[in-house]
A and B are shown apart, each in its own frame.
Chain A
Amino acid sequence: MEDKVNAYVTEDMENALKTAEDIDRRRSSGEQLGELAGIPVGIKDNISTKGLRTSCSSKMLENYVPPFNAFVVEKLKQAGVVITGKLNMDEFAMGSSTETSYFGVTRNPYDLDRIPGGSSGGSAAAVAAGEAVAAIGSDTGGSIRQPASYCGVVGLKPTYGAVSRFGLVAFASSLDQIGPITRTVEDAAMLQSAICGHDKMDATSVITEAKDYKAALTAGVKGVRIGIPKEYFGDGIDDNVKTAVMQAVKLLEQNGAVVKEISLPSTDYALSSYYIISSAEASSNLARYDGVKYGYRSENYDGLIDMYEKTRSEGFGDEVKRRIMLGTFVLSSGFYDAYYKKAKLLQRRISAEFSENFRDIDVIATPTVPSAAFKIGENFGDPVKMYATDICTVTINIAGLPAISVPCGYSVEGLPIGLQLIGDKFMEQKLLDTAYTYEKLVGGFRSPKL
């Protein structure tokens, strides 16, 4: 299976088996273990694992082994999860197809000629192909939801601050958020309960009470007010996708939900705002890869500056370089106000629009991605076309909201389509309940025929 899909950058069978045996032993000796104990979970390769290579699918960190665990990894280990290994991704999470990985593209289990989405492409593919029961991914502009949609699985992007980012290799600090990718909504609820919660090591982590989302899961959408923003159903959206999403909404309506059309007029600016903010932060976050403390260093150089430039040029792929340069540009003297500052101001406007709408609706329903998975190589090398595939997801990161993608049918080619449900801050339970209801109505995950 792995030979076909290439979901993993690093498999950790030895430790996985050891942990599994340990869990078995503890369980047979009568120890009361949580429901996650012994469950095989894969971790995206930008989440730090002590003693286990964390490469971010980059040549830059090809041999980097963290001396500490990310907060979420600690939490999962405490829950007895068996970590299967590290999952492939776009280099430093920059991309929408996993094609920018230094370790080769991951293939979509529903059609091996197609991309699995990105940047958490390895995570979504592994779960769809049964190479892990669940995976932990990260989402900066759609990197959990978009591959989940392409691979026919469930992906939850939690509210910004709900899950600690400590140990998540930063792409865009103000947008990054860790979340689960699973086959079922129930599994997503279970994993989210395990990884969320306040962490004093992350100043942006929000102090909230521990929640058991799975125990609280409720099927039924009677009276749930669902908003349909017209801006998410425009020309750029494939007809297959529109139809599938509207059918899903109709089904929810038939089961008691109250559907109404809404407007989010600033949506048009979200993509620009997103690429400016994320690239600006990335240009700074990725400056630390300079060949001094860890990671790749060029073999031949003449002096310090040359060492920096060669190391970074040889260690980073083209997409990462593009983002670093875009970010450097928008922050540079003379351009800051016209780009970065304006993008930040727009971010506030976008957030305000959502808040206003959430005063009289509970959930917003949209497509996750404008179309089903594209062919490997189809958009590679055309950054603007590639960036446009993020149009439905980036706004949610810009506003810091939670959103979930659940499978909602198939395209004419038989490729999965995703329904995106967006909630107000910290309303994950509402999203999970709605997604759970829908999943029950349509039957849930279907394995790809590999």
Chain B
Amino acid sequence: MNNGYEAVIGLETHAELSTDSKIYCDCKNAFGLEVNSQVCPICMGMPGTLPTLNEKVVDYAIMMGHALNCRINRVSKQDRKNYFYPDLPKAYQISQDDTPLCADGYVDIMVNGVERKIGVTRIHIEEDAGKLLHSDKFDGCSLVDLNRCGVPLIEIVSEPDLRSPEEAKVYLETLKSILQYLDICDCKMQEGSIRCDVNVSVHKIGEPFGTRTEMKNVNSFSAAVRGIEYEINRQISVLEAGGTISQETRRWDDVKGESVLMRSKEDAHDYRYFPEPDLRTIVVEQERIDDLKKRIPELPNRKILRYVKDWGVAQKDATFIAENIELAELFDSCMAKGRFSARAYTTWILGDLVKHLNETGKTVSQTKINADNLTDLVESIEKNVISNAGGKKVFAVLLNEDKKVSDLIEQLGLAQVSDTSELEKIADSVLAENEKSVNDYKNGKTNALGYLVGQCMKASKGKANPQMMKEIVLSKLG
């Protein structure tokens, strides 16, 4: 990297879990509804109210723990993190301090074709805070909407194993696709369902790690990349100018593209963590932990590695397919038939299918494409029953209609003419009508061949097998 510096990056990622109710009360866990409409005395922190822990939150956190190869702590507790802010009604957040539900895991990611193992320090459960609304129209006031209070979160803390903004981005995208695979988070960035805090330090290669800064308010993956880039450059220029980095918390301003000091080490919060006395110990039966493990499907980061290594798919294409669970399911079941190459399928999946999905906003399951009809289509092409162009026509129908490929070929009259005598007849008449081109060819103008074959194809109304047609024309030209 720059001037022999290397960056060390760790991420604290918060994901909102898509449960039906909130973490400590039975209010609806929903986004975007009227302000303060999804609240009750409990999530509003009214005097005398008490929390009760949602079992799904524990299940989901354990599933993520399994997905990230963590040790699951069968016995854990919750703690209070105390600080005052208007979006935190109780003035403490119920979280987990020294006993996270999951710890000591890792996740394999692939960056520029290279496999990297990123350590996961811990995953713990906690509640989200409300939202503050600001406007110049509010006369020097801010408004508080408590709907998000008590929305369940998992915080995934990585080891400082990431070395570049690019790696951080792939790591975040991997987490996102895993959360989607497990179906435990909506992963809607614009709704803030995944957010992260970033820890960055730089050091000269071969020297000890530098002092790290923490950056908050990073609300999208692209903002994370920009923020990390900015912070690496800022730290390098401070060091190059002979300065030192101080341990501080900074706020990322994505609009301005810069980070600003939020608080220095001296002003660091003293959160006064202590065990939440309103809740008792969380004890999860080993059997339940094992059952949850069985519910983990093959994860996208594993699939990417498999597609690249076993089937020779390009990393970019492998990632694209793996990160869309339905595309991956389709691709895997096609390949399970063991009949055609990955390339025969990815051409259709990444080409006409993705184009259609993008245009219509549909998902794979909302089309009629499946492993059976796609394999039939591939077979028809491989066996020269239809041309590629004809295949596209069949595919266009298959997207919306439940039809057999063979029936469609017949209905649409797309079957190729492979009968030699038929093709010879066509060639004879075309060559007779194009004497000039025939002579051109014989005089060495080889591109006349393409013209003549094209005319034959045209005469066959596109039905002639192009390869056979070409061979026949060639032999007739001698």
Contact = CB atoms under 8 A, between A and B. Distances in A.
Contact of A204 (B80, B273, B280): B280
Contacts of A188: none
Contacts of B275: 344
B38 to A, nearest CB: 15
Interface string A64-98: 10111010000000000000000000000000000
A332 B270 CA distance: 7
Contacts of A2: none
A333 interface: yes
A340 B272 CA distance: 11
A66 B91 contact: no
Contacts of A166: 48-50
B274 interface: yes
Contact of B48 (A168, A174, A290): A168
Contacts of A46: 48
Contact of B272 (A68, A290, A331): A331
Interface string A337-375: 000100010000000000000000000000000000000
Chain B interface, DSSP helix/strand/loop, else mixed: loop
A61 B47 contact: yes
B50 A290 contact: no
Interface in B258-296: 270, 272-275, 277-280
Contacts of A328: 272
Contacts of A169: 47-48
Contacts, number: 100
Contacts of A292: 86, 89, 144
A203 interface: yes
Interface string A273-296: 000000011011001101011100
Contact of A288 (B45, B144, B272, B273): B45
A167 interface: yes
B84 interface: yes
B41 interface: yes
Contacts of B92: 284, 287
A266 interface: no
B47 A54 contact: yes
A242 interface: no
Nearest to B47: A169
B277 A173 contact: yes
A336 B52 CA distance: 27
Contacts of B47: 48, 54, 56, 61, 64, 66, 169-170, 288, 294
Contacts of A54: 47-48
B272 A203 contact: no
A331 B45 CA distance: 21
Interface residues of B, number: 29
A202 interface: yes
Given A287-B84, A287-B90, A328-B272, A200 B52 contact: yes
B399 interface: no
A66 B46 contact: yes
Interface residues of A, number: 44
A46 B47 CA distance: 9
Contacts of B46: 66-68, 293-294
Nearest to B142: A304
Nearest to A281: B277
A281 B47 CA distance: 14
Contacts of B49: 166-167
Nearest to B278: A173
A114 interface: no
Nearest to B26: A201
B53 interface: yes
Contact of A290 (B51, B53, B91): B91
B80 A68 contact: no
B180 interface: no
Contact of B89 (A165, A284, A288): A288
B76 interface: no
Interface in A317-337: 328, 331-333, 336
Given A201-B52, A287-B82, A288-B90, A293 B44 contact: yes
8 contacts: A70-B48, A167-B49, A170-B47, A204-B279, A287-B90, A293-B44, A336-B274, A340-B274
Which 6 A-B pairs have CB atoms at the shortest separation, nearest pair first? A287-B91, A173-B277, A174-B277, A331-B272, A169-B47, A167-B48
Interface of B: 41, 44-53, 80, 82, 84, 86, 89-92, 144, 270, 272-275, 277-280
Given A67-B46, A170-B48, A288-B45, 18 more contacts: A54-B47, A64-B47, A70-B48, A165-B48, A166-B49, A167-B48, A169-B48, A170-B278, A201-B50, A203-B50, A203-B52, A204-B50, A204-B280, A284-B92, A290-B91, A292-B89, A331-B273, A336-B272
